[in-house]
Amino acid sequence: MTATTTAPGSADTAAVRRAISSTPRPTRPGPLSAALTFGWRGMLKVKHVPEQLLDVTVTPVMFLLMFTYLFGGAIAGSTSAYLDYTLPGLLVMSVLFTTVYSGVSLNTDLTKGVVDRFRTLPIWRPAPLLGSLLGDSVRYVIAGTVIIVVGVALGFRPDGGVLGAVAALGLVVAFSFGLSWVFSVLGLLMRSPNAVMNAGFMAIFPLTFLSNVFVDPATLPGPLEAFVDVNPISVLATASRSLMAGAPDGTAIVVSLAVAAGLAAVFLPLTTRLYRSR
Amino acid sequence: MSTQTALAIDARGLGKSFGETRAVDGVDLAVPAGAIYGVLGPNGAGKTTTIRMLATLIPPDAGSARVLGHDVVSEAATVRELVSLTGQLASVDEELTGRENLRLLGRLLGYPRAAAKDRADELLDAFDIAEAGGKLVKHYSGGMRRRLDIAASIVVTPRLMFLDEPTTGLDPRSRNQVWEIARALVAEGTTILLCTQYLEEADQLADGIAVIDRGRVIAEGTPADLKASVGTGSLYLRLLHPGQRAEAAQLLERTVGPVVLEPEPAALSATGADAGRAAIAVAELSRAGFPLVHFSLQQPSLDEVFLALTGHAAEETSPLSDDLQEHLS
């Protein structure tokens, strides 16, 4: 032990010391600037891990093709008539699937330790959460746009035109802002990103199928029809359909937004509290 | 910003429970500014929980702590401006590149866009990760990731830095690099609180050490103090002729103290040796016709210190450390 010499490290100590001493202390950023920086982080992730986006868009596109060509004729008489019915609903499905990833990425941050870093920074405390929402919204818009573009390629020509389609997308994204906090809470409570993903899809999958996204509930048995009618996803799909058709259904739109606001009112404070204490 | 406080950390009776488990049970720490202070203990001793309380990540449920003169609960925001944390799990974003990680932190700390970019490049160069700056962190080696982690902690140089097991899982070369960086930081005036379960690491780096076990500080002092509390070192010898060992042992017993015959047939050691008596013993052995191949004077290791203090060995093997489990729960 006494005769050994220390192996030289390759880190250049002089450069390290220069780097340490050369820091002027900048003034801390404002809340908005910090949140926007976290939004930029979300964007970088979309850039580096585009597969994640693929995961959530492939399933709805697959459903779109499958349902339109396999069942479209049987359900609605013709594939083009069914496309008109189901596409606005698939838009809902596609974007809502993406919200699960808000919880997954939050959980990833938590289990990887990077949240500890953020929480020891002198920044406005909700900035990481609001910032990731900004990043998420980009994902929502991409997921929604993909489904609309594929629909148009298959012959979908909504009466509401481009404006109707954009309005429907906007409404669905707004709803997702509310819903994403549910998955954020899940993301803060569960042990692994995979668990969050499984739990998220376990909830959202049946809820999407037990809605009017694929079939007109009028043909369903009474109790099921009653459930489908009150399912918020049905209401949102109805609102999306009405906007795309150029005949906005005021009630469905207001109820959708109210549900989103309700979810946010409950789960946003819960998220910030959990985020602070974990 | 230049308020001179004698103590960088002043914790009194700090405590924290997780459910039934008392993870930290009345920890007192007095860490002087401008040095490396080691918190040494086995897995699950409460090191990480203590750090997390001091870094304002979790509130203590007993006692209080002041970091650079500010209370960790009532003045948490001020504390956050002065400290940074390099956690047990490397606190960098794996899905971004190294450069993006540093730019992100630069922006969050208030650098304008261009300045954040320059600062990121400067740090990548200094920490020898410039070449991998554009690669995603998940493809980094353990040593690179750890260096990036430390670079991320000094985007703005903190007055106090928490280093939680900075070399766990690193190869010796990377470990030496981390140690050099820690020494450079202290030379530039940063205080470091180092948590480690490696006795050698505390011995190498720390000016003062608190030994912590089951949520309590059980001993405190300089590495030398702690070693002295266990007793003197031992003189280790290897003879040229194994056949002379019995005679050599007799001579050693007389000049130094109790002799232990080592497993190797030509080796023996005498406990209770200080440098002076060891020198005399070595000289007498040579004069009496016992050629030596090797001799060394060994300090008691911190392992022995730990055993003497706690009655159990320092390295408890558990598949996942308790600290980590508690961190994840």
Query: What pLDDT does B128 receive?
Result: 87
> Which residues, in sequence order, are CB contacts of B1 under 8 Å at separation 6+?
A25
For residue B44, the model assigns a pLDDT of 80
Q: Which CATH code for domain B232-299?
A: 3.30.70.920
The tens digit of pLDDT for each residue in B133-157 reads 999 999 998 889 988 999 999 899 8
pLDDT grade, residue A158 (50/70/90)? confident
- Going by their DSSP bridges, the two strands B267-273 and B259-261 should be labelled as antiparallel
Residue A8 lies in a domain: no
Cβ partners under 8 Å of residue B260, min gap 6: B234, B268, B269, B270, B271
The pLDDT assigned to B245 comes to 92
- How distant is the Cα of A199 from the closest Cα of chain B, in angstroms? 18
How many Cβ pairs closer than 8 A exist between chain A and B? 151
Given A27, A45, A114, which is nearest B92 (Cβ)? A114
Provide mean pLDDT across the span B260-264.
85
Is residue B324 very low, low, confident or very high in pLDDT (cuts 50, 70, 90)?
very low
Per-residue pLDDT of A167-194, as tens digits, reads 999 999 999 999 999 999 999 998 888 9
pLDDT tens column, B209-250: 998 888 889 888 888 887 777 666 788 899 999 999 999 999
Strand spans (E) along B58-126: 62-67, 70-71, 83-86
Could you tell me if residue A14 is inside a domain?
A: no
Cα–Cα distance between A103 and A184 in angstroms, integer?
Answer: 4
pLDDT exceeds cutoff 60 at B322:
no
Residue A25 lies in a domain: no
- Supply the DSSP symbol for B329: -
How far is Cα B304 from Cα B306, in angstroms, rounded to an integer?
Answer: 5
Whether residue A78 has pLDDT greater than 70: yes
- What is the predicted pLDDT for the residue at A1? 44
Distance CA B167, CA B197 (A): 10
Q: Determine the structural domain holding residue A215 and report its residue range.
A: 30-277
Query: How many CB atoms neighbour CB B319 within 10 A?
Result: 5
Domain presence at residue A228: yes
Indicate the fold that domain B7-227+313-328 takes in CATH.
Answer: Rossmann fold (3.40.50)
- Residue B101's pLDDT is 95
The yes/no answer to whether this complex scores an ipTM above 0.90 is: no
The three state secondary structure string of A153-170 is HCCCCCCCHHHHHHHHHH
pLDDT (mean) for A259-274: 92
Q: In the prediction, which pLDDT does B313 show? A: 58
* Each residue's pLDDT tens digit, A25-59: 788 888 899 999 999 998 898 888 887 777 777 88
Name the residue among B57, B157, B173 with its Cβ closest to that of A23: B157
Q: Which residues in chain B have their CB less than 8 angstroms from residue A277's CB?
A: 58
Any domain includes A1: no
A6 in any annotated domain: no
Domains of chain B by residue range? 7-227+313-328, 232-299
Interchain proximity B172–A29, CB inside 8 Å:
no
Identity of the residue numbered B106? G
Number of structural domains found in chain A: 1
Nearest to A117 among B115, B126, B152 (CB): B152
Per-residue pLDDT, averaged over A106-135, amounts to 86
**Using an 8 Å Cβ cutoff, are A126 and A213 in contact?**
no
- For residue B260, the model assigns a pLDDT of 82
How far is residue A37's CA from residue A25's CA, in Å, rounded to a whole number? 19
What is the Cα A33 distance to its own chain's centre? 22
